[in-house]
Structure 1
Amino acid sequence: MNFFKKLFNIPIKEDKEIQKQEVDLSLDDLFVHNFVEKGGKFLYCIEESEILNNLNNILQENSWNQITLLSKDLSSYFDEKQVKVSTDFVADVPVFLNCEHLIADNGNILFSSNQLKSIKLCNMPSNFIVFAKTSQLVKNMGQGLTGIKIHYKGNLPTNISAIKNYGADKNEDNFLNYGNSNSKNLYLLLLEDL
């Protein structure tokens, strides 16, 4: 390395400034950075009324007049006069659901059969709206899986998977994921609860 510095006449002071600087981010900042970098659309909500407002804006922006709810506890966020709400899975209708955890170190969103039922992520519609709370943030996948194990002690859910790409047109060229793409056009409504 010193050989190249001498060859190209790079001063040592300038070389140190070029080196990458690492910054310690808080858990929520790290998640948001990684999530947005992957193409996710992030909406931060301080009050529950903001969730309803942001949800209506998402539906209007995308001209969606129908949505699938896989969880009954989220039905309070919809006015059925504005949008047709279905509880049955329809392949081309956007899905509104909650999640298990938000993984900060890579920006992934972790789901289980409690949200997805028995449907694989690759078979779900390409448009997702996810509702989560800041208390669901964990540092890494290990903490997320541990959280599931503790929360569902004695009755562990199945179908545990994560959305890794937040653009419906993105595919990960990885032989482990061949034919099993879980790229989704994803909106995240994150409610502050801490």
Structure 2
Amino acid sequence: MSLFKRLLKTTKQSASKKKVDHGKYYPEEKLPIDEKFTYNFNKNGGKFLYCENLEELLEVFDNILLENDWYEKEVFCINEQLTSRFDGFNLTFTKKNNATFFLSTCESLVATNGSILLSSNQMKEKKLHELPDNVVIFATTSQLVDTISEGLRIIKNQCKGKIPSNITTIKDFESEKEKDFMSYGSSTKNLYLLLLEDL
């Protein structure tokens, strides 16, 4: 069952059920990883766009370009597969970080805090503040993990000999949000997540 259908099903079920009072020692109900990520990602201010197939993904990407007037603009993208996939949108792909937006894949989607795990595989040796303020991330539902340590374990297993450097997370997507000391040094991004169903 797709992520979108499960989300709709659980919201309908929770609306129809009456709230049951449990004692204070009753274990908390654990949300599935996909629901937890969606909740935390939206709470952080990210724009979550779910796609069931590639046709829908291209349509959603086209809508993002229309909404932001990003046609005929420069796009910072180092992934050759992404440049060929989104080639028909009249964009200029560059490896300069002063582009209009950053188009990339990611290592993992971390459910616990709704963040996106990136490494030098996606952004070379650039720091987050050096990337464009607008970011479009392409990911699949199989990249959902519960914690950052799970994401790091996947990176370690995939890159057996050479672990990528510059591993970081993007988790701050609202510029208006008041900062606390935990978010000091993080740079705010206007982030769109294109999530493709692949399970």
Shorter chain as denominator, the TM-score bin is 0.7 to 0.9
Residue number in structure 1 paired with 2:108: 101
Q: TM-score, normalised by structure 1?
A: 0.82
Residue number in structure 2 paired with 1:137: 144
2:72 matched to 1:43? no
Deviations 1:55-92 (Å, cap 9, x if unpaired)?
11001101112222221111233244x43222222325
TM-superposed CA distance for 1:172, in Å, is: 3.3
Residue number in structure 2 paired with 1:117: 124
Select which of 5, 29, 35 maps to 1:29.
35
Contact 2:172 2:186 (8 Å CA) reproduced: no
SS of 1:172's equivalent in the other structure is coil
Give structure 1 stretches of 5+ with no counterpart.
Answer: 1-15
Fraction of identical pairs, as percent: 44
2:186 matched to 1:193? no
SS of 1:135's equivalent in the other structure is helix
Select which of 63, 73, 78 maps to 2:69.
63
Select which of 86, 98, 115 maps to 2:93.
86
Residue number in structure 2 paired with 1:4: none
1:63 corresponds to which letter in structure 2? D
Comparing 90-99 with 137-146, which one deviates more in the overlay?
Answer: 90-99
Residue number in structure 1 paired with 2:82: 74
Give structure 2 stretches of 5+ with no counterpart.
Answer: 1-20
Contact 1:51 1:77 (8 Å CA) reproduced: no
Q: How many residues align?
A: 176
Over alpha carbons, which structure has the higher Rg? Answer: 1
Deviations 1:102-128 (Å, cap 9, x if unpaired)?
001110100000001111012111100
SS of 1:73's equivalent in the other structure is helix
Cα distance in 2, alignment partners of residues 101 and 111 from structure 1: 7
Runs of 4+ aligned residues of structure 1 deviating over 6 Å after TM superposition are: none
1:96 corresponds to which letter in structure 2? L
Residue number in structure 1 paired with 2:135: 128
Contact 1:169 1:183 (8 Å CA) reproduced: no
Comparing 21-30 with 135-144, which one deviates more in the overlay?
Answer: 21-30
SS of 2:57's equivalent in the other structure is helix
- Relative distance call for 1:69 and 1:125 in structure 2 (3 A) is same
Cα distance in 1, alignment partners of residues 177 and 186 from structure 2: 9
Contact 2:97 2:130 (8 Å CA) reproduced: no
SS of 1:102's equivalent in the other structure is strand
